[in-house]
Amino acid sequence: MKTRSSKNISGRKHITKKNYVIHRREKVPIINEPGYSGVYTYMAKKCFEQFDLGLDRWKRQLFIRFDLEPGASSETNEVMTRLLKRVRYQFGAIGLTEFGYLWCREQGKGEAEHYHLTIWVDGDKYRASNSLTPIIETSWENIGGVSKARRCRYHFVYDDETRLNALRWLSYLCKAKGKGMKETQTKDYGMSRLKPLP
């Protein structure tokens, strides 16, 4: 796998209409077809960095994406805080003490909010999602959410091609459409805070 280096800097609200984002001096293809709302450049670069920090640690990763509906509408994202607290606890019980993630909140006009969640973990410990999906699904349902985990997507990332494919799917969560329909203090997204290796 190629060595990736360098930091990304961009305006937080900048929306690109291009079909790629420059990340670590590399053109990374994104889901941004003609007629789409565009992708938040800063958000894409930040989550791409978190994903690659995971690869720096583990060399291979299992990448899973979920679509989640809350049981009741809320002006805050407390439901995601509660979900991630449960997931950290459950993952810790099976020896996954560190993982990367990105979630985003989306809401159309006249619609209730929904969430997308992606998680990436050490690919030497897990190569398929069947052990981890029930943890997310059960944790979400236990806090009143409606799970669509059966429609989850997962990728095993082990080389440059599979990495770019996972980053492309990750970019879907960075799209401008559905963002901004919220209270001022409520965030559109949240992500892990993996640190660079020494």
Torsion sign over Cα 33, 36, 40, 44 = negative
Whether 58 maps to a domain, the answer reads: yes
pLDDT at position 3 over 50: no
Is-contact 192 98, C-beta < 8 A?
Answer: no
- Global pTM reads 0.87
The arithmetic mean of pLDDT across residues 164-192, rounded, is 86
| DSSP category for residue 129 | S
Tell me the percentage of the chain whose pLDDT exceeds 70: 88
Whether 12 maps to a domain, the answer reads: no
Is-contact 182 191, C-beta < 8 A?
Answer: no
Distances (CA, A) of 66 to 3, 73, 114: 29, 18, 11
CA nearest to 4, candidates 177, 191, 167: 167
Whether 196 maps to a domain, the answer reads: no
CATH of the domain at 80: 3.30.300.330
Residue 181: pLDDT band by 50, 70, 90 thresholds? low
Residue 90: pLDDT band by 50, 70, 90 thresholds? very high
The arithmetic mean of pLDDT across residues 68-95, rounded, is 92
Whether 10 maps to a domain, the answer reads: no
Question: How is 15-52 classified by DSSP, letter by letter?
Answer: EE-SSEEEETTEEEE-S--TTS--EEHHHHHHHHHHHH
The arithmetic mean of pLDDT across residues 173-195, rounded, is 84
Is-contact 29 20, C-beta < 8 A?
Answer: yes
Number of structural domains found in the chain: 1
Whether 32 maps to a domain, the answer reads: yes
What pLDDT shows up at residue 56? 97
Q: Which structural domain, as residue segments, surrounds residue 134?
A: 22-191
Whether 158 maps to a domain, the answer reads: yes
Whether 155 maps to a domain, the answer reads: yes
